[in-house]
């Protein structure tokens, strides 16, 4: 998933960023309310929207809650997971009521964070389980594996991230930019033809017709008839 | 009420009641003696009148006296008297024998013939007041007497009538004192009960209505104390909360770093994570050290503030040496400008900690130079660390010495501090009755200056005792 991590603390931010990327999330990290504002609330048109926001409440230049409220006031529906040291019930209630979808108290566990992010993803996709099934292709985000016609498919981390990005909204067209963002985040610029290379790899492993190219629009994962 | 002290009520009762009782006793004694003396004088006057009357009667009868005095004395009429027993008299002839006497008068002469005037006598087991008179020719002598018990009874009755209102007054006085003191103590008792019921961090004034005017200043002082105590408590709580948060964050970070290392499949990523973990552990350890040092200094423990004088210039020299290698590593020049005669009585370790923190900060921000200055200045020693970094932004300067306040980390060449360095420096300055302030550094950089007064040891011990 494409995530925005809003966390001011260097010591916490760095391992969180690494942990989220380990889980295959294309994560951007900002350390102030101002940066969060320009990345999430008022992004440049070229920026692909974030799918989940991981939000710390105590920011040096403002409150995370205010940021969340103004995002909701602007009609932004991005799921928000609050990660904070504020552990009182009143804080949790205030956080959830301000529009957060989930609330975690530090110290947090990366595995739990990953599970909660999957839950948020399930909910926003209207799915009942983590596993995404498309014809005879089954993708398991927890095990980070894919099974095609009962046979496991050997995928690299980036290939898998790309596949997830295509499969999360079955039948929807995913733009090249979205795929690039899903793969790298801001600070890891991709070559202009990197996506083509990975798409090529995926087609080789899943079948040539598994991914459709829509010229000028992007790519689409197509349901394969059971063989 | 403690065994050592007396309640106000008891003090007032004893003091005022005792004084009143003493006064009453004295005045009663005086009144009583006056009453007795006055009645005695009155009785004596009456007795004298009676005596002269009797004398006038017998003056013309001297011839018959000679005949009558041989016997036991002829009883004559008695002299009426207002009170109980009548006045008695004896009339003695020229020979000394009793010629006439009143009924009930003793048979024996009541006084010697020659003892003229008033005297006391005893006869028939009774005391008498006797007035002895004689005719001019000396042919007749008379004793007119009044029984003393009679006189005393009358005198006592008169005196008691005089004393009774005083005694009543004493009772009224005691009751009034008791009631007044009880009424005055009532608000005090209520006030202390209110104080007892106060919540620990209460800072609102306690209702002191009804307290005597003399105690209002005390109530005001207690109100002010409550504000101070609750402020201190609030400060303490904020600090504790801050410290908890500041200690929890690095631990949470360590946990994350450890987890990242465990999860990573890539050797380089794992190495990075483990290095982060180590650096994080060091930071956490430094933070704990700072918190503990600050706690120690807050409690004023392990400090020798009145030991042997130390030379600040010398201390600065030693500390500067410690940092020489690190400064060089960063391409920074570390200068020391130390004047002579910078002796100060203080804690060498604490001052060293303060100086190290200042140099540590300067290392973090300096571009090329750090200067340490130590000199004697009037009645104090000045110790400053200056750098040529970007300087402290005004919005940071106001809170620079607050605990757990971190400045702009972007300006720092190194990782973040714990936010305790300058707080520690300020505490050390306070412990030495000095102050710390921000000054201009080199080329628009930042500088921190400690101003430590040089005090005589006697002055110091006084301050410590306070």
Of A14, A22, A111, the CB nearest to B276: A14
Q: In whole angstroms, what is the distance from residue B203 CA to residue B225 CA?
A: 9
Q: Which of A105, A107, A36 is nearest to A71 (CA)?
A: A36
> Is residue A30 within a helix (H) or strand (E), and if so which, with residue range?
strand A26-30
CA dist., res. B204 & res. B198, Å (int)? 10
Determine, for residues A9 and B253 on separate chains, whether the beta-carbon distance falls below 8 Å.
yes
Cβ–Cβ below 8 Å for A19 and B259: yes
Q: Does B282 touch chain A (CB under 8 A)?
A: no
Tell me the mean pLDDT in the region A8-25. Answer: 87
Is the pLDDT reported for residue B63 higher than 70? Answer: no
Stronger pLDDT, A34 or B200, i.e. the higher one: A34
Report residue B68's pLDDT band, with 50, 70 and 90 as the boundaries. low
Query: ipTM value of the model?
Result: 0.76
Using a CB–CB cutoff of 8 Å, tell me whether B409 touches chain A. Answer: yes
Instruction: Kindly identify which residue of chain B lies nearest to residue A86, measuring between CA atoms.
Output: B245
Question: pTM of the entire structure?
Answer: 0.58
Length of chain A: 227
Structure confidence at residue B448 as a pLDDT band (50, 70, 90): very high
Please answer yes or no on whether A9 and B249 come within 8 Å at the CB atom.
yes
Chain A residues with beta carbon closer than 8 angstroms to that of B264: 18, 22
Query: Contact A11/B250, CB-based, under 8 Å?
Result: yes
Query: Confidence band (pLDDT; 50, 70, 90) for B232?
Result: confident
Residue A73 has pLDDT above 70, yes or no: yes
Residue B445 has what pLDDT? 87
Q: How far is A59 from chain B (nearest CA, A)?
A: 13
Flag if B256 and A108 touch (Cβ within 8 Å).
Answer: yes
pLDDT band at B35 (very low <50, low <70, confident <90, very high): confident
- Provide, as residue numbers in chain B, all residues whose Cβ is less than 8 Å from the Cβ of A85: 245, 248-249, 252
Question: What distance lies between CA A167 and its chain's CA centroid?
Answer: 12
Contact A19 B256 (CB under 8 A): yes
Put simply, the answer to whether A110 touches B263 (Cβ < 8 Å) is: yes
Give B317→chain A minimum CA distance, Å: 35
Please determine, for residue B412, whether its predicted confidence score (pLDDT) is greater than 50: no
- Tens digits of per-residue pLDDT, B155-164? 788 878 877 8
Q: Specify which of A183-197, B94-108, B327-341 reaches the highest per-range mean pLDDT.
A: B327-341
Cα separation, A99 vs A59, whole angstroms = 18
Mean pLDDT for A175-199 is 70
The highest-confidence range among A42-51, B77-86, B437-446, by mean pLDDT, is: B437-446
- According to the model, what pLDDT value does residue B70 have? 61
- Count of residues in chain B: 466
Q: Confidence band (pLDDT; 50, 70, 90) for A186?
A: very low
- The answer to whether B347 and B434 have CB atoms below 8 angstroms apart is no
| Alpha helix stretches (DSSP H) within A23-88 | 33-36, 64-73
How far, in whole angstroms, is CA A1 from its chain's centroid?
2
The pLDDT value recorded for residue A188 is: 52
Residue B115 has a pLDDT of 81
Q: Per the CB < 8 Å rule, is A15 touching B256?
A: yes
């Amino acid at each position: 998933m494409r995530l925005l991590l809003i966390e001011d603390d260097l010591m916490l931010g760095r391992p969180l960023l690494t942990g989220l990327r380990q889980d295959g999330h294309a994560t951007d990290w900002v350390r102030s309310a101002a940066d969060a504002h320009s990345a999430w609330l008022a992004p440049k048109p070229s920026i692909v929207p974030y799918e989940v926001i991981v939000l710390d409440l105590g920011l040096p230049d403002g409150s995370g809650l205010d940021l969340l409220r103004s995002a909701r006031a602007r009609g932004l529906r991005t799921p928000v997971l609050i990660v904070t040291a504020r552990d009182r019930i009143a804080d949790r209630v205030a956080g959830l009521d301000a529009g957060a979808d989930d609330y975690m108290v530090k110290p947090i566990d990366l595995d739990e964070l990953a599970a909660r992010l999957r839950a948020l993803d399930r909910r926003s996709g209207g799915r009942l389980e983590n596993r995404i099934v498309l014809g005879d292709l089954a993708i398991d985000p927890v095990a980070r594996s894919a099974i095609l016609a009962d046979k496991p498919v050997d995928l690299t981390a980036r290939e898998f991230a790309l596949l997830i990005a295509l499969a999360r909204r079955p039948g929807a067209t995913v733009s090249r930019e979205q795929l690039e963002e899903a793969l790298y985040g801001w600070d890891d610029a991709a070559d202009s033809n990197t996506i083509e290379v990975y798409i090529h790899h995926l087609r080789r492993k899943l079948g040539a017709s598994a991914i459709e190219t829509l010229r000028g629009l992007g790519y689409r994962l197509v349901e394969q008839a059971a063989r | 009420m403690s065994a050592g002290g007396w309640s106000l009520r008891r003090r007032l009762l004893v003091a005022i009641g005792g004084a009143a009782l003493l006064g009453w006793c004295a005045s009663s004694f005086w009144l009583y003696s006056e009453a007795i003396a006055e009645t005695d004088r009155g009785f004596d006057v009456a007795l004298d009148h009676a005596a002269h009357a009797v004398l006038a009667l017998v003056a013309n009868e001297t011839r018959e006296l000679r005949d009558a005095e041989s016997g036991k004395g002829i009883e004559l009429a008695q002299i009426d008297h207002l009170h109980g027993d009548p006045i008695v008299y004896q009339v003695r002839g020229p020979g000394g024998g009793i010629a006439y006497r009143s009924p009930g008068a003793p048979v024996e002469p009541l006084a010697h013939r020659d003892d003229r005037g008033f005297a006391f006598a005893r006869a028939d087991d009774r005391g008498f007041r006797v007035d002895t008179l004689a005719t001019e020719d000396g042919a007749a002598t008379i004793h007119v007497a009044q029984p003393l018990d009679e006189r005393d009874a009358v005198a006592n009755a008169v005196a008691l009538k005089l004393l009774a209102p005083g005694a009543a007054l004493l009772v009224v006085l005691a009751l009034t004192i008791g009631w007044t003191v009880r009424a005055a103590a009532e608000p005090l008792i209520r006030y202390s009960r209110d104080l007892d019921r106060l919540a620990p961090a209460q800072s609102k004034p306690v209702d002191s209505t009804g307290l005597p005017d003399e105690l209002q200043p005390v109530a005001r002082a207690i109100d002010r104390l409550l504000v101070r105590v609750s402020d201190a408590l609030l400060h303490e709580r904020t600090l504790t909360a801050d410290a908890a948060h500041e200690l929890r964050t690095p631990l949470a970070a360590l946990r994350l770093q450890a987890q990242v290392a465990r999860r990573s499949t890539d050797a380089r990523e794992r190495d990075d994570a483990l290095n982060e973990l180590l650096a994080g552990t060091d930071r956490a350890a430094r933070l704990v050290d700072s918190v503990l040092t600050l706690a120690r200094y807050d409690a004023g423990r392990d400090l020798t503030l009145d030991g042997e004088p130390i030379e600040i210039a010398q201390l600065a020299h030693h500390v500067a040496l410690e940092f020489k290698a690190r400064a060089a590593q960063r391409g920074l020049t570390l200068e020391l400008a130390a004047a002579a005669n910078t002796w100060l009585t203080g804690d060498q370790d604490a001052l060293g900690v303060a100086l190290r923190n200042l140099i540590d900060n300067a290392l973090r921000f300096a571009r090329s130079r750090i200067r340490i200055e130590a000199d004697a200045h009037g009645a104090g020693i000045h110790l400053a660390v200056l750098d040529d970094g970007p300087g402290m932004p005004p919005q940071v300067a106001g809170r620079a010495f607050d605990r757990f306040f971190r400045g702009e980390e972007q300006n720092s060449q190194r990782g973040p501090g714990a936010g305790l360095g300058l707080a520690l420096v300020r505490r050390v300055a306070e412990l030495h009755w000095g102050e710390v302030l921000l000054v201009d550094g080199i080329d628009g950089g930042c500088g921190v200056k400690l101003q430590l007064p040089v005090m005589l040891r006697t002055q110091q011990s006084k301050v410590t005792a306070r």
